[in-house]
Amino acid sequence: MAVSNPVAFKPFAVTFWTTVAYIAILVPLLVIHETVPSPPSNPTLYAGLNLTKSWLDLTTISRDYHPFNSRQNDDIHDWLLLELEAIKRRNGANDSSVVVLADNISNITTANAVFGAAVPTGTYFEGTNIIVYIRGKDDPHGPWWENGRVYSDKIVGKGGVLMNAHYDSVSSGYGATDDGMGCVTLMALVDYFSRPDNRPQRGIVALFNNNEEDGLWGAQAFANSPLLPFCHTFLNLEGAGAGGRANLFRTTDTEVTKAYKGTQNPFGTVISSDAFSLGAIRSNTDYVVFNGVLGLRGLDMAFYRPRARYHTDQDDAKHTSRASLWHMLSSSLHTIQSLSGDTGQTFIGERADGDRKKVWNGRGSDGVWFDIFGKGFAVFDLRTMFAWSLTLLIATPLILISLTYILIRKDKYYYFSARRSAYEGSELDPIMLGGRKGLSRFPFALLVAGALVIGSAYLITKINPMVIYSNEYTVWAMMISLFYFVFWTIMAGANFARPSALHRGYSTFWLFTIAWCILVADTVFEDRLRIAAGYIFVFFHSAAFLAAFISLCELFALPTKASFAQRAHDDHEIRDHLSAVPHADALISPSHEELQPDDDDEEAESQSAATETTPLVGGGSGDNRTTFATTYRRSISALINQAKSTRSGKGQPYQHEQQWSAHIPSWVWVLQFLILGPFLIILAGQNGLTLVASVSQTGADGSSLLLPYLIVAFFSIFLILPIAPFMHRITHHVPMVLLLVFVVTLIYNLAAFPFTENSRYKIYFQQTVDLDTGSTVVTYTGLPGFVQQTIAELPSAMGKELNCSSRGNVRPGLITCSYDGAAVPPNVVKTHPDGVPPQNGFRSWLDFNITRAEGETRARFEISTVNSRSCAITFKKPVSSFTVGGNGPDERFGTVPESGLTKIKLYRRDWTTPWKVDVQWEIGADGSTGMDGRILCSWDDVNTPGTIPAYDEGLKYSPTWVALSKLSSGLCEGSKAFTA
As a dihedral over the C-alpha atoms of residue 717, residue 723, residue 724, residue 726, rounded to 10 degrees, the angle is -160
Do β-strands 761-770 and 776-782 pair in parallel, antiparallel, or remain unpaired?
antiparallel
The three-state secondary structure class of 466 is coil
DSSP state of 47: T
CB half-sphere exposure, 555, CA atoms < 13 A: 26
With b meaning 16 or more CB within 10 Å and e meaning fewer, what string describes 505-541?
A: bbbbbbbbebbbebbeebbebbeeeebbbbbbbbbbb
Q: Residues 495, 499, 505, 506: is their CA dihedral positive or negative?
A: negative
- CA dist., res. 658 & res. 559, Å (int): 13
CA Rg, the chain, in Å? 38
- Determine if residue 175 is left, alpha or beta; phi over 0 gives left, psi from -120 to 50 gives alpha, anything else beta: left
Of 112, 296, 287, 131, which is closest to residue 210 (Cα–Cα)?
Answer: 131
SS3 of residue 195 by DSSP = coil
HSE on the CB side for 72, CA within 13 Å? 21
3-class secondary-structure state, position 713? helix
919 forms beta bridges with 859, 882
Residue 632, number of CB atoms within 10 A of its CB: 9
Of 2, 187, 16, the residue nearest 86 (C-alpha): 187
Selection from 194, 183, 210 nearest residue 332 by Cα: 183
User: Among 191, 165, 159, which Cα is nearest to 89's?
Assistant: 191
As a whole number of Å, the end-to-end CA separation of the chain is 103
For residue 685, report the phi and psi dihedrals to the nearest 5 degrees: -65, -50
Three-state secondary structure call for residue 625: coil
Angle between helices 668-676 and 535-553 in degrees, nearest 10: 170
Give the separation between CA 286 and CA 218, rounded to whole angstroms.
Answer: 9
Separation CA 980–CA 122 (nearest Å): 19
Beta-strand (E) ranges in 866-914? 870-884, 901-907
Is 194 within 8 Å of 90 (Cβ atoms)?
no
Cα dihedral sign, 478-481-487-489: negative
Q: How far is CA 176 from CA 303, 306, 340, 974, in A?
A: 11, 13, 28, 29
Q: Which residues contact 926 (CB under 8 A, 6 or more apart)?
A: none
Active site residues: 212
Instruction: Tell me the three-class secondary structure of 243-267, residue by residue.
Output: CCCEEEEEECCHHHHHHHCCCCCCC
Plot region of 618 (φ>0 → left; ψ -120 to 50 → alpha; else → beta): left
Q: How far is CA 33 from CA 360, 364, 369, 688, in A?
A: 39, 31, 18, 11
Run of H or E including 744: helix 733-751
Distance CA 529, CA 509 (A): 30
Do 340 and 136 touch, CB atoms closer than 8 A?
yes
